Structure 1
Amino acid sequence: MKEDCTEATTEPVFDRRAFREVLGTFVTGVTIITTCDENDVKHGLTANSFSSVSLDPPLILWCQSLQSRTYATFRDNPRFAVNILAHDQIALSQHFASSSDDKFRGIDHMSGIGGVPLLNNTSASLECIRLAAYPCGDHVVYIGRVTRISKSLREPLVFCAGSYMKASPTA
């Protein structure tokens, strides 16, 4: 197995925009990843790069840009929460995707394990502790062990081809 995930054996025959458009055809859930810093200041960001890794032990992964304003905070605090947004939380997704300094002003939330913020009225949440962080290209891949979960009956919000959507069963 290669140690450096950026090592390539051949050059791609497509540009960055085309690659992004292809990735955009994959429907993803919409999450807000939250944590707090050493001064208990709350931080969060919208992410759709989230996936389950293992059921036993319960592991998940998510990816963060190395250029993110909150990179150092997530790097330094091993505790974080994954808030899976409900279908009517588009404005919340957009709010946490912005570069605002105080993203939690006026946002309903409660404290989870270690003071990590949990957003109210989401579809689900997972409280985690980081097991590993792997720099990979322009992002870091975090692996987290899930320590507590909660789920509501609210339908999740999804994203595909640049648009928010509501997930609904086909049959």
Structure 2
Amino acid sequence: MAQSFIPGPDNTRALRGAFGRFATGVTVVTAAAERGPIGITANSFTSVSLDPPLLLWCPAKVSRRHDAFVSAERFALHVMGTGQDQITWAFANTAEAFEHCDWERSEHGVPLISGCPARFECTIRDRIDAGDHTVIIGHVTRVATEDGPVARVFLGGDYGQFDPG
């Protein structure tokens, strides 16, 4: 049976559940901050443009990491694979979870996680206030891909994977 509602403060859980019916990828975004390298797990990512190459992601304003990411000039967005759940869970809990992964700094000091299906190094082009999140639009300056790892999928509050075979 279909359900319909008008989103409001009394039904944010239902709205979240409706949003959760759309499968997304799982990413870890990293940046260099005053306190050192930081990361955060995010599923609010999408490509925006091929020419120029742009993507966006949206950190929540209630996150203790929000201001550090919004003030950064550069970041890297890592599409995470099925074998990297420990990394994504670690960065969901703390910004300093780098002991859970192989990583190195880019020439700009941005932490780059190894072994991801795709990684996008970006400079921030725009920061847009959007309710309880900030939309960060990044200009992609470098891309790295790896054959083999299958990208992790998030749907209905749980991890899964898509097998195109």
* TM value normalised by structure 2: 0.90
Q: Which residue of 2 aligns with 1:135?
A: 129
1:72 aligns with 2:67: yes
Mark the runs of 5 or more structure 1 residues left unpaired by the alignment. Answer: 1-10
1:123 aligns with 2:108: no
In the alignment, the residues of structure 2 paired with residue 35 and residue 135 of structure 1 have an alpha-carbon distance, to the nearest angstrom, of 20
Mark the runs of 5 or more structure 2 residues left unpaired by the alignment. Answer: 1-5
AA in 1 matched with 2:78: N
1:146 counterpart (140, 146, 153): 140
**1:16-165, aligned counterparts within 5 Å?**
16-38=12-34, 41-98=36-93, 100=94, 102-153=96-147, 154-165=149-160
In the alignment, the residues of structure 2 paired with residue 25 and residue 19 of structure 1 have an alpha-carbon distance, to the nearest angstrom, of 10
* TM value normalised by structure 1: 0.87
Residue 95 of structure 1 aligns to a residue whose secondary structure is helix
Identical amino acids, percent of aligned pairs: 39
> Quick check: 2:7–2:15 contact (8 Å CA) kept in 1?
no
Q: Which structure's residues are more often helix, by fraction?
A: 2
> Quick check: 2:40–2:95 contact (8 Å CA) kept in 1?
no
Give the deviation of 1:166 after TM superposition. 1.5
Residue 99 of structure 2 aligns to a residue whose secondary structure is coil
In the alignment, the residues of structure 1 paired with residue 143 and residue 95 of structure 2 have an alpha-carbon distance, to the nearest angstrom, of 28
In the alignment, the residues of structure 1 paired with residue 116 and residue 44 of structure 2 have an alpha-carbon distance, to the nearest angstrom, of 18
Cα RMSD for the two superposed structures? 1.6
Deviates further, 44-53 or 102-111: 102-111
